[in-house]
Amino acid sequence: MAERWATFGIDLHLDPTGPGLRRGLTDALREAVRTGRLAPGTRLPSSRSLAADLGIARNTVADAYADLVAEGRLTARQGSGTRVADRAAPAPPAAAPSPRRTPGRLPYSLVPGTPDLSSFPRAEWLRATRRALAAAPHDAFGYGDPRGRPELRTALADYLARVRGVRADPEHLVVRPGFADGLRLLCEVLRARGARTLAVESYGLDVHRDLATRAGLHTTPLPHDALGTRAQEPGTADAVLLSPAHQFPLGGALLPERRAAVVDLARRTGTLILEDDYDGEFRYDRQPVGALQDLDPDHVVYLGTASKSLAPGLRLGWMVVPPSLLPAVTEHGGLTVGVVEQLTLAEFLTSGAYDRHVRAARLRYRRRRDALVRALAERAPDVQVTGIAAGLHAVLRLPPGTERSVVQAATWHGLLVHGLSRFRHPDADVTPSDALVVGYATPPDHAWAATLEALCRALP
In total, how many domains does the chain have?
3
CATH number at residue 360: 3.90.1150.10
**Residues of the chain with pLDDT > 70: what percent?**
91
CATH number at residue 40: 1.10.10.10
Please give the Cα distance from 292 to 166 (Å, whole number).
Answer: 8
Q: Stretch 352-381: mean pLDDT, rounded?
A: 96
For residue 208, what is the enclosing H or E element?
Answer: helix 206-214
- What single letter denotes the amino acid at residue 9? G
Name the residue with higher pLDDT: 53 or 347.
Answer: 347
> What would the pLDDT profile of 116-173 be if each residue is shown by its tens digit?
999 999 999 999 999 999 999 999 999 889 999 999 999 999 999 999 999 999 999 9
Q: Which pLDDT band holds residue 114 (cuts at 50, 70, 90)?
A: very high
Q: Which pLDDT band holds residue 288 (cuts at 50, 70, 90)?
A: confident
Per the CB < 8 A criterion, the answer to whether 332 and 185 are in contact is: yes
pLDDT at position 77 is: 82
Give the end of a domain, one of 306, 325, 351. 351
- Which of helix, strand or coil describes residue 460? coil
Domain check: are 388 and 327 in the same one?
A: no
Residue range of the domain that includes 20:
3-88
pLDDT at position 92 is: 45
Q: Stretch 197-225: mean pLDDT, rounded?
A: 96
Q: Does the predicted model carry a pTM greater than 0.95?
A: no
Q: Stretch 330-349: mean pLDDT, rounded?
A: 90
In a domain, 333, yes or no: yes
Please give the Cα distance from 97 to 74 (Å, whole number).
Answer: 28
Give the end of a domain, one of 288, 318, 351. 351
Domain check: are 109 and 229 in the same one?
A: no
For residue 357, what is the enclosing H or E element?
Answer: helix 353-379
In a domain, 190, yes or no: yes
- Report the interhelical angle of 21-34 vs 445-458 (nearest 10°): 40
CATH number at residue 204: 3.40.640.10
Domain check: are 64 and 181 in the same one?
A: no
In a domain, 330, yes or no: yes
Which string of DSSP letters, residue by residue, matches 65-121? HHHHHHTTSEEEETTTEEEE-GGGSPPPPPSS--SS--GGG-SEE--SS---GGG--
pLDDT at position 81 is: 85
What CA–CA distances, in Å, run from 370 to 276, 349, 365?
Answer: 26, 29, 9
Count the alpha carbons within 13 Å of 263 in the hemisphere toward its beta carbon. Answer: 19
> What would the pLDDT profile of 384-406 be if each residue is shown by its tens digit?
999 999 999 999 999 999 999 99
Which of 345, 226, 359, 229 is closest to 283 using CA atoms?
A: 359
Q: Stretch 359-372: mean pLDDT, rounded?
A: 96
In a domain, 125, yes or no: no
Domain check: are 341 and 368 in the same one?
A: no
Name the residue with higher pLDDT: 94 or 302.
Answer: 302
The b-or-e profile of 258-285 (16+ CB within 10 A means b, else e) is bbebbbebbeeeebbbbbbbbbbbbbee
In a domain, 93, yes or no: no
In a domain, 96, yes or no: no
Mean pLDDT of the chain: 89
Domain check: are 174 and 280 in the same one?
A: yes
Domain check: are 319 and 362 in the same one?
A: no
Q: Stretch 429-456: mean pLDDT, rounded?
A: 95
Domain check: are 170 and 83 in the same one?
A: no
> What would the pLDDT profile of 53-112 be if each residue is shown by its tens digit?
777 888 888 888 888 888 888 888 877 788 898 864 444 444 444 444 444 468 999 999
pLDDT at position 86 is: 84
**7 pLDDT exceeds 80?**
no
End-to-end CA distance of the chain: 29
Domain check: are 184 and 77 in the same one?
A: no
Q: Which pLDDT band holds residue 43 (cuts at 50, 70, 90)?
A: confident
> Phi and psi dihedrals of 165, rounded to 5?
70, 20
Q: Stretch 37-61: mean pLDDT, rounded?
A: 83
pLDDT at position 14 is: 59
Domain check: are 260 and 387 in the same one?
A: no
In a domain, 339, yes or no: yes
Domain check: are 147 and 108 in the same one?
A: no
Domain check: are 320 and 398 in the same one?
A: no
Per the CB < 8 A criterion, the answer to whether 21 and 64 are in contact is: no
Domain check: are 381 and 315 in the same one?
A: no
CA angle 293, 296, 300 (to 5 degrees): 50
The residues, any chain, with a CB within 8 Å of residue 296's CB and separated by 6 or more, are 263, 266, 267
In a domain, 215, yes or no: yes
Per the CB < 8 A criterion, the answer to whether 15 and 446 are in contact is: yes
Please give the Cα distance from 385 to 6 (Å, whole number).
Answer: 36
Q: Stretch 334-346: mean pLDDT, rounded?
A: 90
> What would the pLDDT profile of 172-182 be if each residue is shown by its tens digit?
999 999 999 99
> What would the pLDDT profile of 230-251 be if each residue is shown by its tens digit?
998 988 899 999 999 999 999 9
Tell me whether residue 321 is exposed, middle or buried, using C-beta atoms within 10 angstroms of its C-beta: 0 to 12, 13 to 18, 19 or more: buried
pLDDT at position 95 is: 43
Cβ atoms within 10 Å of 161's Cβ, excluding its own: 16
Which string of DSSP letters, residue by residue, matches 245-285? SS-TTT-----HHHHHHHHHHHHHH-PEEEEE-TTTT-BSS
Which of 296, 304, 257, 361 is closest to 19 using CA atoms?
A: 361
What is the separation of C-alpha 391 from the centre of its chain, rounded to a whole number of angstroms?
9
> What would the pLDDT profile of 414-425 be if each residue is shown by its tens digit?
999 999 999 999
Give the end of a domain, one of 319, 351, 383. 351
